[in-house]
């Protein structure tokens, strides 16, 4: 059995406003990943600045924080083997125009600054981001009844 990983995924304010919550979550459910934690909130500027701290010197950083704070987001933790890398592949490139057909960002959005969804880019950043957005007791430990049909 492959080692399980966790990744942090957030549906951004444009994804909420455009009614894409169900479709994006469905993609991960159908893949077979396990939902570990989820909440609906309007994230504070402080949290968003920390979340995107690696980009603090980029010109688009203030606009990025403002956009992410402009409405509610759905913050989630998903689990699976190599879930971090697989989710990045499922989401597509940062810029929807560079993404392959079948990826979320290619199929559901147009511009890099309105790309509807976030996914951690490494196991290390997933750990950091999950720690920012969730308390450890908010991560729910349960066995999916589909587990033995997804894994051999």
Least distance to Mg ion from the beta carbon of 125, Å?
7
Judge whether 118 counts as a catalytic residue: yes
- Cα–Cα distance between 45 and 68 in angstroms, integer? 8
Under the binding rule (CB under 6 A), the answer on residue 94 touching ligand DAT is yes
* Number of shown-chain residues binding Mg ion (CB under 5 A): 1
- Cα–Cα distance between 82 and 101 in angstroms, integer? 22
**Pick from ligand DAT, Mg ion, none: which does 89 bind, CB < 5 to 8 A by kind?**
none
Least distance to ligand DAT from the beta carbon of 41, Å?
19
Residue of 112, 128, 132, 138 that binds ligand DAT (CB under 6 A): 112
Residue of 61, 121, 127, 138 that binds Mg ion (CB under 5 A): 121
**Which string of DSSP letters, residue by residue, matches 68-131?**
HTSS-EEEEEEEEETHHHHHHHHH--SSGGGSPTTSHHHHH---GGG--EEE-SSHHHHHHHHH
* Number of shown-chain residues binding ligand DAT (CB under 6 A): 9
| Contacts with Mg ion, residue ranges (CB under 5 A) | 121
| Catalytic machinery residues | 118
């Amino acid at each position: 059995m492959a080692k399980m990983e966790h990744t942090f995924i957030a549906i951004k304010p444009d994804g909420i406003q455009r009614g894409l919550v169900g479709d994006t979550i469905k993609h991960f459910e159908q893949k077979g990943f396990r939902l570990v934690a989820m909440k609906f909130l309007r994230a504070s500027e402080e949290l968003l600045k920390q979340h995107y701290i690696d980009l603090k010197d980029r010109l688009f950083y203030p606009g990025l924080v403002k956009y992410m704070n402009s409405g509610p987001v759905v913050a989630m933790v998903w689990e699976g083997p190599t879930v971090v890398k697989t989710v990045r592949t499922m989401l597509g490139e940062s810029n929807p125009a560079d993404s392959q057909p079948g990826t979320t960002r290619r199929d559901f959005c147009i511009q890099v600054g309105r790309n509807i969804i976030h996914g951690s880019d490494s196991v290390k950043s997933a750990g950091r981001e999950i720690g920012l957005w969730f308390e450890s007791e908010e991560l729910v430990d349960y066995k999916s009844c589909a587990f033995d049909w997804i894994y051999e």
